[in-house]
Structure 1
């Protein structure tokens, strides 16, 4: 009951910010269709999924609701045609000189899990720098504060290039470390490596479309066993109000 109370509260806040310009906030709705759902190197679904998202920001404050809707089932662990996950995020972003920082809280809900799964709750801090134009370097640390009480951390690098005023491409890579209690098999260490290549096209000031191909694999099979999906792709569209 508690998790649905939190969900209702944050959804209501998002709707207020989304309509009527009560905050003068910016709102972006995004929906992505992916050929699989992979998170931190772990395969959650090896079939098609839809992942809608609503993001509302005002100043440095942000709220986000994200969902994973399964179009295919997966090894009898979930059914198609329903949301297997809903994530709620509250964040605050700020800058310290040339370093962009953010802190926040994420609640992971699994509304249709059978047997029922408890909500996951993380606090996080991220930092990023742009040493040269187009190149972004980042560090993110997440700590699960409820069920697991351990960390996941990642380092990342991305390079973006504008081909034209409307079209841009980006290549990125990241590597993750997981604590013992957060590991799939109970071993701490380097967990996953991910790479991406994506293209974005701005149809107009509000509407954009994206397409990407992604690679995710284990860095140490003693920490993260081999997964069903290593390569997948997706297309998406976003609209800013």
Structure 2
């Protein structure tokens, strides 16, 4: 019997990670307890190299973290959508992270829900409003992540790597991301394209001190989508 995509994914990614975290490198939960809420105002929403909506957006977030476990919600809502083109998103996610001598490892699952007219939040059928995506990640000298759509899409894989560094108190990161099997066009490719790199980016963030007790986080990103031959310049203010 041919193993399912999820079974293959678990064998290739999840089982080695769990063995590494629990055996070779004894893990310790990331010790943090916090309840965070906020919002980012951005000139546009670009996700994995794809432009969603071509309009400014507000992106609220809410999360609770304790002993390595984080549960949260994140959304993106256009502020001045063109008629019939709005891309509004309301996601739920959960992740668990452990620290080892080699870095921080994490597992996660995200429920992507697009709140456009006609979408039903409770519709989890194959052609419903939700895409479920488990993933794994590593953060150390470099950051690596892999994820797989297991529900609501055609089992596309997303792979991403980034290199964080700091220059004169500005946090920077270079990133590259793509898919080895975008047969259904989930990441914007045409019917004849399978593998594609859709994200090359340079991101920068810095907190600007306004008063002794308040700083304003700013961020900017320059994206290039090699497959679509498009570039984007993003700017955001977090509150």
TM value normalised by structure 1: 0.72
Q: Residues 109-139 of structure 1, C-alpha deviation per residue, up to 9 Å, x if partnerless?
A: 1122457762111000000113xxxxxx111
Q: Does 1:216 align with 2:230?
A: no
**2:161 aligned to 139, 151, 155, which one?**
155
Quick one: distance in 2 between partners of 1:61 and 1:231? Answer: 33
**1:30 aligned to 9, 15, 38, which one?**
38
Q: Residues 42-78 of structure 1, C-alpha deviation per residue, up to 9 Å, x if partnerless?
A: 0002221100101110001001100112102147322
Q: Does 1:88 align with 2:88?
A: no
Q: Which runs of 5+ in 2 are unaligned?
A: 1-31, 121-127
Kindly indicate whether structure 1 or structure 2 has the higher relative contact order, using CA contacts under 8 Å at least 6 residues apart.
Answer: 1
* Contact 2:119/2:129, CA 8 A, preserved across alignment: no
**2:130 aligned to 110, 115, 119, which one?**
119
Q: Does 1:101 align with 2:105?
A: yes
RMSD over aligned CA atoms reads 2.5
Q: Which runs of 5+ in 1 are unaligned?
A: 1-23, 131-136
**2:238 aligned to 233, 236, 239, which one?**
236
Give the 3-state SS of the residue equivalent to 2:140 in structure 1.
Answer: strand
Q: Does 1:190 align with 2:190?
A: no
Number of equivalent positions: 194
Q: Residues 176-199 of structure 1, C-alpha deviation per residue, up to 9 Å, x if partnerless?
A: 111223432242122221111221
TM value normalised by structure 2: 0.73
Please identify runs of 4+ aligned residues in structure 1 that moved more than 3 A.
Answer: 113-117, 201-208
